[in-house]
A and B are shown apart, each in its own frame.
Chain A
């Protein structure tokens, strides 16, 4: 066989490529016609893409993104903007009605109520769930929003006000209260007595000790003589089954000695009035809402 003659496979009559692996020779079959056709059509098709869509980067651009614009000026940015505008437009149909309606009116309007709960749920997960949990159950030091125990009040207007101005927040109308650190005024023995008395409110056990007098002198002005708390001061109810900072004697003594005070931001500057109203309705709907 001379050098310029191409070897042909004896069985199929097809030229070989001259490559051989372990006695197997590779045949030089062309790619199938239909396959080649599809490839060529794809290449031609891609030219259409260059023309219609923004495709080629250019050195000079309009600052943000330079490149060919495409014949219809389509970009992913504009597509995103369009779909966002569509959502805003769809919401607008309800928002105008929602903003004009009072809480009482919304409570009786099935459509507006569902709109508020859905919008509030979404805003809650974005802004509130960090502290209050995705289910709204809170944790030690962060109030549970599902139960019927409210520090500042659980009707929808009060909830709205708490969200708007916050608690101990940087806001002129914020809710504010502070429990003194009794560790500096009372002895450990006295604090222990008070704790025993506080526990007797909820356990229902008869109490006959020094704690009663101490409580009435030191604590009743804010928590009430019956220990049921006063919402005007944000003073918690000590007579129920729910404890904010823990319900063991140790927890209670610690809170009397050196109280913790939580802070909730004021949302007025961060969220729109409409969103705050939706949040108020959503939180009210979680199960503990009061009339």
Chain B
């Protein structure tokens, strides 16, 4: 190493990416997906779903104070949070499945980070102009004009952030009521906290962090390659056709040279700031904007589309080997996709089955530990139990509590009023808590397995009555 060598830089300063405006098939698709996803996000909380007079009528609602989550016909209690695990497994496997077929299209079109970044870049372009103007403005010294443009950009970003955070809280409250409260500035502190937190995280992530979230924060971009194989659709640059690249003047021959005219349009439009001609890279989110940019250029120089395109590595290899493209099997059904589909079907079926068969009644019995049992004057033994009856139906119910596996027992319910084991009243959509004393003759074992049975009590001949059982035990002195 010579003495004049520049000192090693341990950290490279990040260059800001200024994506250029582009128009084409994939750009249109991106706008369409953005409009649909944002519309879902902003409007979904206002959808109504009738559940009767005793439950909220919001279609999608996470009701924290009441510990309930609603999704159209589904209602989930806190102890059923495993449904969430199921949804997450479904979402993950669906993502793997789509990735193995079409590459990172989730990243390129539907991921909130991409959608909001795209929206923020659009704002930036409307206010400050296209790529060249924005780069010039960044380098320009501070002036009134620059200050005004910057202030407007950031204000609009913050406004979008505010709407984003504002929409988020509607999923946790009755949306029309909360909207009314917000418009009258009667905002609960917690709600305000969430709105502000999401406003600033949106502002930060979509305004500043942008592609760095995908590169450094998101784990998915790091393990996406595990889902890729040579039949996965990825953004490809046709090196065989494009190289050797070089400038091209109108009327010049294309003989002996590649079709890439090195205009760098694909680089300028890339929101990740990469050169796709270097091959598939970790940064590539498969948004296809470079495809649009290159096709527009190919139109201008009268060459066919597809120098940059969605393609599989397999296809490319076949083409280079000189085989005809139409004969190439793209292998949509292959072991990898088959397994993803199989997992999706199995998990989906299990979820559907358990949701359809979700019991509207649940019984839990907790045996007393202090003391395990009480000996009575006549030598009989009494055990205490905390009985919880979960009535998940939307109307009040009465239940009968019985014990199976214990001879000569009596049940007494301890509590105010005249509650008997035959008329346990539980309100709609709530948990009834009862103290039950079970008395039986002294047993010859210290622990006898018994079953509590709960039966819905209703009019004679009414539709099927719900029942549930709970395994418990009856303790007794064994000497």
Interfacial residues, chain A to chain B (CB-CB below 8 A): 11-14, 106-110, 112-114, 133-135, 137, 144, 146-149, 237, 240-242, 285, 287-288
Task: Indicate if the CB atoms of A241 and B370 lie closer than 8 Å.
Answer: no
A/B interface sample: 19 pairs, CB < 8 A: A12-B8, A13-B7, A108-B416, A108-B417, A109-B416, A110-B416, A112-B416, A113-B415, A134-B370, A137-B371, A146-B382, A148-B377, A149-B377, A240-B378, A240-B379, A241-B377, A242-B377, A285-B435, A288-B374
The reply on B437 being an interface residue by CB < 8 A is: yes
- Count of CB-CB pairs between chains A and B under 8 Å: 61
Evaluate contact between A135 and B416: CB separation under 8 angstroms: no
With A and B bound together, what is the CA distance between A110 and B415 in angstroms?
A: 8
> What is the chain A residue whose CB lies nearest that of B380?
A241
Tell me the complex Cα distance, A117–B424, Å: 20
| Nearest A residue to B414, CB-CB | A285
Cα distance A113–B417 in the bound complex, in angstroms: 9
Interface presence of B32 (CB below 8 A)? no
List chain B residues, Cβ under 8 A from A285. Answer: 414, 435
A13 partner residues in chain B, CB cutoff 8 A: 7
Q: Is B375 an interface residue (CB 8 A)?
A: yes
> Chain B CB within 10 Å — which of A12, A107, A287 has the most?
A287
CA distance A240 to B376 in the complex (A): 8
Q: CB-nearest residue of chain B relative to A112?
A: B416
B residues lining the A interface (CB < 8 Å) = 7-8, 10, 368, 370-371, 374-379, 382, 384, 414-417, 435, 437
Contact B376 A147 (CB under 8 A): yes
Contact A242 B384 (CB under 8 A): no
Is the beta-carbon distance between A137 and B370 smaller than 8 angstroms?
yes
Given the known interface contacts A11-B8, A287-B382, the answer about A242 and B375 at a Cβ–Cβ threshold of 8 Å is yes
Bound-state CA distance A135–B435 (Å) is: 15
List the A side residues contacting B371 at CB < 8 Å.
Answer: 135, 137, 146
CA distance A148 to B381 in the complex (A): 11
Can you name the residue of chain B whose Cβ is closest to the Cβ of A14? B7
- Docked Cα-Cα span, A240 to B10, in Å, equals 88
Specify which chain A residues have a CB less than 8 angstroms from the CB of B435 in the assembled complex: 285
Residues of B within 8 A of A134 (CB): 370
The interface residues of chain B lying within 8 Å CB-to-CB of A144 are 374
B240 shortest CB reach to chain A, Å = 43
Residues of A within 8 A of B370 (CB): 133-135, 137
Alpha-carbon distance between A285 and B435 when the two chains are bound, in angstroms: 10
User: Once the chains are docked, how many angstroms separate the CA of A109 from the CA of B415?
Assistant: 10
Chain A residues, Cβ within 8 Å of B376: 147-149, 241-242
Cβ contact of A12, chosen from B7, B378, B384, B414, cutoff 8 A? B7
- CB neighbours of B382 from chain A (8 A): 146-147, 287
Cα distance A98–B308 when bound, in Å?
81
Q: Closest CB-CB distance, A152 to chain B, in whole Å?
A: 15
CB < 8 Å neighbour of A237 from B10, B377, B416: B377
List, in ascending order, chain B residues with CB within 8 A of A240's CB.
377-379
Checking A11, A133, A147 against B375 with a beta-carbon cut-off of 8 angstroms, the contacting residue is: A147
Kindly report which residue of chain B lies nearest to residue A111, judged by CB atoms: B416
